[in-house]
Structure 1
Amino acid sequence: MKRSDFIKSGAALLSSSVLLNNDLMAENKEVTKGATFKLDYAPHQGMFSATAGKKFVDEIQYMHDLGFRSIEDNGLPERSIEEQKSIGETLARLGMRMGVFVVPKGGNGANTLAAGKKDFVDIFLKGCRESVETAKRVNAKWATVVPGDYQRNLPIGVQTANVVEALKRGAEIFEPHGITMVLEPLSDTPDLFLRYTDQTYEICKAVGSPSCKILYDAYHQQKNEGNLINLMDLCWSEIAYIQVGDNPGRREPTTGEINYKNVFKWLKEKGYSGIVGMEHGMSKSGVEGEKLLVAAYREVDNF
Structure 2
Amino acid sequence: MERRKFLQQSTLAGISTLALGALGYPSQAAGSTPAPGAGENTFRLNYAPHDGMFKNSGGSSFTDQIKYMHDQGFRAIEDNGLLGRPVAEQEKIGALLNKLGMQMGVFVVDTGNNWKTSLASGKQEFKDAFVKTCKDSVEAAKRVNAKWATVVPGFFDRSLPMGVQTAHVLDALRKGAEIFEPHGLIMVLEPLSDTPELFLRTAEQSFEICKAVNSPSCKILYDIYHMQRNTGNLIPIMDLCWDEIAYIQIGDNPGRKEPGTGEINYKNIFKHLHKKGYKGVLGMEHGVAGKGQEGEAALIRAYREADNFM
Q: What is aligned with 2:186?
A: 180
Letter in 2 for 1:108: N
Q: What is aligned with 2:31?
A: none
Counterpart among 223, 238, 249 of residue 229 in structure 2: 223
**Cα displacement (A) at 1:110:** 3.5
CA distance in 1, matches of 2:149, 2:112: 11
**Cα displacement (A) at 1:52:** 1.2
Counterpart among 26, 49, 54 of residue 48 in structure 1: 54
Letter in 2 for 1:130: D
1:182-201 counterparts in 2 under 5 A?
Answer: 182-201=188-207
Q: Which runs of 5+ in 2 are unaligned?
A: 1-34
CA distance in 2, matches of 1:107, 1:148: 7
> Are the counterparts in 2 of residues 132 and 174 from structure 1 also a CA contact under 8 Å?
yes
1:1-303 counterparts in 2 under 5 A?
Answer: 33-105=39-111, 107-110=113-116, 112-303=118-309
Query: Matched residue of 2:221: which SS?
Result: strand
Query: Matched residue of 2:168: which SS?
Result: helix
The CA deviation string for residues 52-81 of structure 1, in whole angstroms up to 9 with x for no partner, is 111111110110000000001000111111
**Cα displacement (A) at 1:112:** 1.4
**Cα displacement (A) at 1:285:** 1.8
Query: Matched residue of 1:73: which SS?
Result: coil
Q: Indicate how the Cα distance of structure 1 residues 65 and 47 shifts in structure 2: closer, same or farther if over 3 A, else same.
A: same
> Are the counterparts in 1 of residues 185 and 217 from structure 2 also a CA contact under 8 Å?
yes
CA distance in 2, matches of 1:240, 1:207: 15
Q: Indicate how the Cα distance of structure 1 residues 282 and 31 shifts in structure 2: closer, same or farther if over 3 A, else same.
A: closer
**Cα displacement (A) at 1:242:** 0.1
* RMSD over equivalenced CA pairs, Å: 1.3
Query: Matched residue of 2:239: which SS?
Result: helix
Higher helix content, 1 or 2: 1
Letter in 2 for 1:67: G
Higher relative contact order (CA 8 A, sep 6+): 2
> Are the counterparts in 2 of residues 108 and 148 from structure 1 also a CA contact under 8 Å?
yes
| Off by >6 Å, runs of 4+ in structure 1 | 29-32
CA distance in 2, matches of 1:153, 1:32: 54
CA distance in 2, matches of 1:47, 1:30: 15
Query: Matched residue of 1:241: which SS?
Result: strand
> Are the counterparts in 1 of residues 36 and 297 from structure 2 also a CA contact under 8 Å?
no
CA distance in 1, matches of 2:41, 2:292: 22
Query: Matched residue of 1:41: which SS?
Result: strand
In the superposition, the TM-score normalised over structure 2's length comes to 0.87
> Are the counterparts in 2 of residues 167 and 207 from structure 1 also a CA contact under 8 Å?
yes
The CA deviation string for residues 244-270 of structure 1, in whole angstroms up to 9 with x for no partner, is 100000000000000000000000101
Q: Which runs of 5+ in 1 are unaligned?
A: 1-28
Q: What is aligned with 2:24?
A: none
**Cα displacement (A) at 1:104:** 2.2
